[in-house]
Amino acid sequence: MTKVIQTIAVRKPDDWHLHLRTGRILKEVLKYSSSNFGRAIIMPNLDPPVVTTQQAKNYCNQILDFIPKEHDFKPLMTLFLTEDSDIRDIEEGVKEGIINAVKLYPAGATTNSENGVRNISKVYKLLEKISFLGIPLLIHGEATQSKIDVFDRESVFVTESLIPLRKRIPNLRIVLEHITTKDSADYVLDSDQNLAATITPHHLIINRNSMFIGGIRPHYYCLPLAKRELHRLALIKAATSGSSKFFLGTDSAPHFDHLKENACGCAGIFSTPNALSCLAHIFEQELALEKLEKFISLNGARYYGLPVNKSYTKFSKMNTPKETPKKINVGENSITVFDPGFSLFWEHKNIRDKN
Ligand code: DOR
Ligand code: ZN
């Protein structure tokens, strides 16, 4: 029998940045989110992207169809912003309670983002109107010009696009998604209440060396790329600080193994099955377990203006490592689960009340 050596109960967590895809992948990956999280912000970078409220409704229904009956999970839908997005449609979607955020991808920055924004000044007018809707703008913050070094793309975006945008529309509520640098963490921390950031479990665990240990490691390839160790340490400091500006967005992004282990492999790390165990491990190591609830369950809901979940999640530390799946199968294909490179000792289960 494994002995429990420590427990902690927190409000049920939410995932403020999640890729679920569609069809067979959706069916297989969804249960890992719907069992562990109360809600998730669903990314709209499908092929074709989710641009209209009607498309978001259709996608939402697809997701709802696949949620196992015993799970209590709400998908929070988002729209993919283009230079031609229709503000009346966005307004309608927000009024109907379907649309919870709009996502800005610089064109070409990542998976299925070709229809994203080429010139941010072209969407200023739209963004000004979005600033009155009470929903946040979610930003994939990477500059895309090919001349920019891939490791500098986030910092160039912050300097050249985010800072001017925030000067121009200070009332726009923004989430800078999946931050990867100390500079971003410092900028977010020093800014006013209209800027917050999500942080992924994998950017708290891997640095840029992790992609190249003994050979190329495609399952650690994601965008934005993991950066130097000093940045990883700064992200850990931010996440475990208790600051309300930082919250969990797993950016769990499943791709088939043959498309990642490929001459031109896809970016994305599928982390949902062990994301919470990884986080409990990190917060424990930082002697910050009492801040875990803020990062995974409280800060995000507050920034989105939503109530926290009613039920709880109980974490228990076991004295023998937890078995985690290495891969999941989708028909004849497989998807590799994020391997943190250390044993996981923290289990968790959903409970109704705290005690
Ligand atoms: O690594 C990533 N994968 N980063 C993103 O921004 C998108 C995601 C995906 O959709 O595969
Ligand atoms: Zn993402």
So what's the pLDDT on residue 355?
77
Phi first, then psi: give them for residue 188, nearest 5 degrees: -65, -45
So what's the pLDDT on residue 324?
86
> What does pTM read for this prediction?
0.98
Site to substitute for ligand 1 among 22, 110, 175, 271, most atoms within 8 A of C-beta? 110
Q: How confident is the model at residue 2 (pLDDT cuts 50, 70, 90)?
A: low
Q: How confident is the model at residue 27 (pLDDT cuts 50, 70, 90)?
A: very high
User: Pick from 38, 92, 36, 42: which is nearest to 63 by CA?
Assistant: 42
So what's the pLDDT on residue 28?
98
Site to substitute for ligand 1 among 222, 252, 262, 269, most atoms within 8 A of C-beta? 222
pLDDT tens-digit series, residues 85-122: 999 999 999 999 999 999 999 999 998 999 999 999 99
Ligand 1 near 267 CB (within 6 A): yes
The angle subtended at Cα 15 by Cα 243 and Cα 65, nearest 5°, is: 160
One of 84, 251, 257, 353 is an active-site residue; which one?
251
Measured from the Cα of 109, ligand 1's closest atom is 6
Q: What is the mean pLDDT of residues 11-26?
A: 98
Residue 302, helix vs strand vs coil: helix
Q: What is the mean pLDDT of residues 176-181?
A: 98
pLDDT at 155 over 80: yes
User: Pick from 226, 219, 241: which is nearest to 299 by CA?
Assistant: 241
pLDDT at 274 over 80: yes
